[in-house]
Structure 1
């Protein structure tokens, strides 16, 4: 479990900032809402404290609204901006807003004395008007569907150094979370979001809040979000071609060298780079696996090595899987979030199924039985080429909460 979720309370801002706060027109399928809105009032030109832009006055005052969202559909972390320009009478005369890293003018449409600004579905860029939104519909649909989550944790921002350690694992958590939120924009009539009723606060308060909020989100996903906590992998005929094994000639079962299956090294690199925690779960003497994996640079890809020669039993004995969960410091109830990848229906698949793990059958050679006898040794999924493994895992991981 993680600590309480940090929440930003409404704090005092100049009344004029509430009086002219924009009304955002959100897509009716929009999955997110602003978490904090930092206000800065300019009565002289100067650099924005929250963006890369310089604020040039177009009248008496400019009010900057920096809107923080926990996510856009492509990233964890999003910060967007609107600048509302006022004349000496306090009337809105023009509006600027951020749009995918740039800034442009927004057509001035007022509801009372407050500007109305159209917001892109999922991405939260600000359109010039409804016609601009419609012209961008194809690009928006692509970003909210095919590209959902692909950006992981957004690191191109001023707060990134305060997020804590961000590596492949954290990026994968964000991708899984957002991949599950892929959606089709409704377009058409917008859904008003009144920024005056949102969590308005001075920019300095929002700037202090954002890093702790992101740290919480990452910790919460790691602790509570369904995702693949680890991967268990077999070795023989899963990574190593058993047909190339050379064994010690002393009558022992120790393999002294063997070749990898084509694509095994690339697959292992891809799994590591995708942030998966890897555990070897293999039958045989420890020396065998050191002899065949270390020369190919794969031994250290594994965070733990659970080997039957050390445990004292072979798969499908549940003790092998229990030992592997303990080695990865995972509780037994998380077994459904730890797939086993192997080539042997009688050992890898049967053992994983009995222990409550998803089972992925790698059938690249017919050296052993390849047709299940029944439900107990039927794999959750199967693949036949190394380059299918990561895409398959990505699909299955996003579908975890849908119980595929």
Structure 2
């Protein structure tokens, strides 16, 4: 089913619109790479018969003939972010001949000409080639690859998913679309999972299947925020990701050798953080990870040391042995963290414990059935497992390596199994 037809009355072009036939006659044919994961879904058209500001872009429209047809072309995804709106402008004379074609390319408006200087037109329609993953327009695929091939391959590969949800556009600026930190991370993860190497063969086009839905721009403009909201809302259920990250404190975030305790007590008044620890906690929080502090000691210690640096509030849950009444590797500590975050049993295996103590952090996590990460930064405690269950699933030498490891784990998680659509 065409996604657009699922919203009757929103993206249904009116046959009474006098410009619909005109827009349909000159609608561009878009050819895209055989491995392209994102096809164009809809085009919102507008017709200009004199100079005026575009209704859907930043450009001023200046017809060189009788009129200009503007096509704002919608894609759900661009290889670096969710949301993509590209443009094609077709200049038509009074006799109905296409005399000039312009199209968007990375924020610029370019005149489309083939290497021989001719306009890329077949009959009444422009024929354009889309950059793989990025959808910028070219008149000739050979020229595209020669001039931008290496950059395009990099964007479709190593730099896929660089931005998550695109939140610098006409809709986000008006508060019509948005995304949480978690949703941004999940959008980026989805795109990183979709990395591909272009085939540089353009055997597919926008006419295939149900084709490009052609509607007046105001209707597409009204639909886009709803579409983006729907896509964003679907991310947590469709993109594999970690449910939670449990973090120890001593020699994981805080350098125990610098601790200063209140005389006669085990309460630490102040201590230095491990270099980079504060930045990592901030980064994980900004990326939407659900963080739980799972640490042994009196609560006041962690309130003092982490609270003084604004890190205490970065944790959604604080599970402290002084409150629970047992030390790690007690399963009560891990169960309490699960309960505090409201995690389900199914989410246990998608949770990670990070700590420096094989006998407490790693053994406890492994027994509990969650992933274990050993931080080997400190030599204060043994690095040699005594028991099989003290062997960590992952080891990192420094806390600043944790964000990269978490992303690698998330990208390795099995794909979410979705139920197939059943035709009525």
Question: Is TM more than 0.5 here?
Answer: yes
Worse overlay, 171-180 or 183-192 = 183-192
> Contact 1:322/1:332 (CA < 8 Å) preserved in 2?
no
Q: Which residue of 2 aligns with 1:128?
A: 139
Alignment partner of 1:115: what SS? strand
Q: 1:180 to 1:311 in 2, by over 3 A?
A: same
3-state secondary structure, aligned to 1:339 = strand
Find the aligned partners of 1:225 and 1:175 in 2 and give their Cα distance.
Answer: 10
Flag the 1:179–1:99 CA change in 2: closer, same or farther, 3 A: same
Give me the whole-angstrom Cα distance separating, in 1, the residues matched to 2:385 and 2:215.
61
Contact 2:171 2:177 in 1 (8 A): no
Conserved? CA contact 1:119–1:126, under 8 Å? yes
Q: 1:272 & 1:6 partners in 2: Cα distance?
A: 36
Structure 2 counterpart of 1:194: 207
**How far apart are the structure 2 equivalents of 1:5 and 1:264?**
50
Show the counterpart of 1:353: 366
1:59 equivalent in structure 2: 65
Corresponding position of 1:73: 79
Give the conservation status (yes or no) of the 8 Å contact 1:162–1:211.
no
**What secondary structure is seen at the aligned counterpart in 2 of 1:401?**
coil
Which whole-Å CA distance do the structure 2 matches of 1:144 and 1:370 have between them? 40
Provide the secondary structure at the position in 1 that maps to 2:414.
Answer: helix
- Provide the TM-score with structure 1 as the length reference: 0.91
- Could you tell me how far 1:61 is from its partner in structure 2? 2.5
Task: Give the deviation of 1:208 after TM superposition.
Answer: 0.8
1:228-269 Cα shifts (integer Å, max 9, x gaps): 23321001111112233334443x533333322222222223
Question: 1:144: which partner in 2?
Answer: 156
Name the CA distance, whole Å, in 1 between partners of 2:188 and 2:136.
20
Residues 235-244 or 262-271, more deviating? 262-271
Check the 8 A contact 2:120/2:139 in 1, yes or no: no
Once residues 6 and 357 of structure 2 are traced to their aligned partners in structure 1, the CA distance between those partners, rounded to angstroms, is: 47
How far apart, CA to CA, are the structure 1 residues paired with 2:240 and 2:369? 15
When residues 180 and 375 of structure 1 are mapped into structure 2, their CA distance, relative to the original with a 3 A threshold, is farther
User: What does the per-residue CA deviation read over 1:343-383, in whole Å, with 9 as the maximum and x for residues that have no partner?
Assistant: 11222122222333221110112222323345533222111
- Show the counterpart of 1:157: 169
- Asked if the contact 2:244–2:292 (Cα under 8 Å) also holds between the matched residues in 1, the reply is yes
Q: TM-score, normalised by structure 2?
A: 0.87
What is the CA–CA distance in structure 2 between the aligned matches of 1:340 and 1:51, rounded to whole Å?
A: 48
Contact kept? 2:189, 2:239, Cα under 8 Å: no
Task: Give the match's secondary structure for 1:136.
Answer: helix
Matches within 5 A, 1:103-118: 103-107=109-113, 108-118=119-129
* Structure 1 equivalent of residue 304 of structure 2: 291
Aligned 1:2-401 pairs, distance under 5 A? 9-12=11-14, 14-107=20-113, 108-134=119-145, 135-160=147-172, 161-194=174-207, 197-250=211-264, 252-373=265-386, 375-401=388-414
**1:65-93 C-alpha deviation (Å, 9 max, x unpaired):** 11111110111111000111222222322
Q: Any conservation in 1 of the 2:261–2:270 contact (CA below 8 Å)?
A: yes
Structure 2 unmatched runs, 5+: 114-118, 417-424
Q: Which runs of 4+ in 1 moved over 6 A?
A: none
Q: Report the Cα offset of residue 5 of structure 1.
A: 11
| CA offsets 1:129-187 (integer angstroms, 9 cap, x no match) | 22331221011111111211112221221101434554533322221111111111111
CA–CA distance in 2 between the matches of 1:271 and 1:308?
Answer: 24
Distance 1:33 1:318 in 2: 49
Deviation, 1:64, is 1.1
Aligned length: 399
RMSD, aligned α-carbons:
2.4
Is the CA contact (8 Å cut-off) linking 1:6 and 1:212 kept in structure 2? no
- 116 and 175 in structure 1: CA distance in 2 versus 1, 3 angstrom threshold: same
**Gaps spanning 5+ residues in structure 1: where?**
none
Shift of 1:60: 2.1
For 1:17 and 1:294, the matched residues in 2 are separated by 61
